[in-house]
Amino acid sequence: HPVVNLPQKALSILPGQNVSVFCNATGHPVPTIQWVRTDSQQKMKSEEDSTLVLENVMPSDGGFYSCIASNVVGTATEDFQLIILIHRTSLEDGGSSITHYILQWKKLSEDSWSQSAVENKYPLMIKGLEPYTEYLVRVAAKNSHFQGNFSKEYSVFTQSQWEPDSPVLSLSEKKLEKNSVSIPIKQLKAGLSPILHYVVRYKGNKENEEWTEDRIPGNSSRIHLKGLQYNADYQMEVYAVNHNGTSSPAKVNFTVPQPVSQPALGKGGVVGIVMFIFLMLMMSVDAFCCYTNHCGLLNFVARKLFRHKVPVMDEEANNSNGDMKLSGLTLPRGSIPKLQAPNGAANGVHTEVTCDKAPLTKFE
């Protein structure tokens, strides 16, 4: 885990001077260092040795700056406070001592001014302002006789009262999967107490669509949103909450694209597959019939096309057990027919009779 070493935690200077603040960090692997202005999360330019340099500072440069060290293990931060000293100028009191001042302030979006009378005591303080909000402020002096004109308007940006800073959302590292999105989140400053949880609010940009609110644990590293609508734009706000209050929101916008359409099979495809399976089954049965019993469509086609005659065993031959038929006379196999020549032997010569599959015999 990275460790930040910031030798100088605060510095007070006059307007017009230069500032140089060195920050060092250790860790494995070696962390990278980035300077950020705490109130606006603006990244500041720094030299190669991680030194923050501000030239010709003005009162608006005053405030807190964070040195952030990050690596794959985690993130660490230390704050530096820059104080710009402003000399008070002598005021013309019109011959009568100033008794108090009239302070007026308003938000940029407001038309009317809020007002408060404070004693002639430095510094002048306005209480009850909202954190992380930009205001316009002006002041007028008053003595026992009359009130002077208001000064020109000054723009101020309020800071936190130990509530956490806004979380940082890495929209460039978001992951989209179908209609779900995952966005990394990290907390630079937790205030004086640890983060309890984050409040996540999101909604689509369609008209009259309401906000959906959820909570995630304070140690979360990613925000996961599921069940979003396809082809829709969303806006999201995330608040960090600790025991001291709620941070200002971190706001992002993202889009859930239309899913890539995949060709559907359709009813025609299903019917075709069923018919193909049925045809293959019928052909298998017919082929089995042709091979075993010499029947079926394939056997018929083979006979017609190729003039092929399939031998058929004669049942009588199968049942004859090797008997022979001679002109309607059935004789046992191996028997010798008794033939007599008419009127005895012809010319005194005996006649030989041969039978298929029977031994030859000479008659004497």
Q: Report pLDDT for 328.
A: 45
Same domain, 27 and 68: yes
- Same-domain pairing of 249 and 176: yes
User: Is residue 219, in this structure, part of any structural domain at all?
Assistant: yes
Among 256, 280, 314, the domain boundary falls at 256
Residue 42: partners with Cβ closer than 8 Å, 6 or more residues away? 36
Domain with 190, as residue range(s), is 168-256
Q: Are 70 and 108 within one domain?
A: no
Q: Are residues 103 and 62 in the same domain?
A: no
Indicate whether 251 and 276 sit together in one domain: no
Same domain, 218 and 282: no
Question: Tell me, what DSSP letter sits at residue 82?
Answer: E
Pair (193, 248) in one structural domain: yes
Whether residue 251 is found in the same domain as residue 277: no
Residue 261 belongs to a domain: no
Q: Is residue 313 part of a domain?
A: no
Nearest to 167 by CA among 193, 195, 129: 195
Residue position matching structure tokens 């992002």? 252
- Predicted local confidence at residue 321, as pLDDT: 47
249 and 174 co-located in one domain: yes
Which of 233, 278, 241, 291 has the alpha carbon at shortest distance from 258?
233
The answer to whether residue 162 is domain-embedded is no
Q: How many helices (H) and strands (E) does the chain have?
A: 3, 24
pLDDT for 237? 94
Residue 127 to residues 88, 116, 227, 290, Cα–Cα distance (Å): 21, 9, 44, 102
CATH number of the domain bearing residue 190: 2.60.40.10
Residue that finishes a domain, picked among 107, 136, 157: 157
Q: Give yes or no: residues 287 and 356 share one domain.
A: no
Domains contained in the chain, number:
5
Is 196 a member of any domain? yes
Instruction: Per-residue pLDDT tens, the chain, 364 aa: give them.
Output: 788 888 888 888 888 889 889 898 888 888 888 888 887 777 887 777 688 888 888 888 888 898 888 888 888 888 898 888 765 555 555 556 788 899 999 999 999 999 999 888 777 888 888 877 889 999 998 887 788 889 999 988 887 667 788 899 988 888 988 889 999 998 877 666 788 899 999 999 888 889 999 999 988 999 999 999 998 999 999 999 887 778 888 999 999 988 766 555 667 777 888 888 888 888 888 787 777 877 777 777 777 776 655 454 444 444 444 444 444 444 454 454 554 544 544 444 444 545 444 455 554 4
What is the predicted pLDDT for the residue at 58?
Answer: 86
Asked if the structure places residue 316 within a domain, the reply is: no
For residue 344, the model assigns a pLDDT of 47
Q: How far apart are CA 312 and CA 305, in angstroms?
A: 19
pLDDT at 324: 46
Same domain as 346, residue 294? no
Last residue of a domain, one of 84, 109, 135: 84
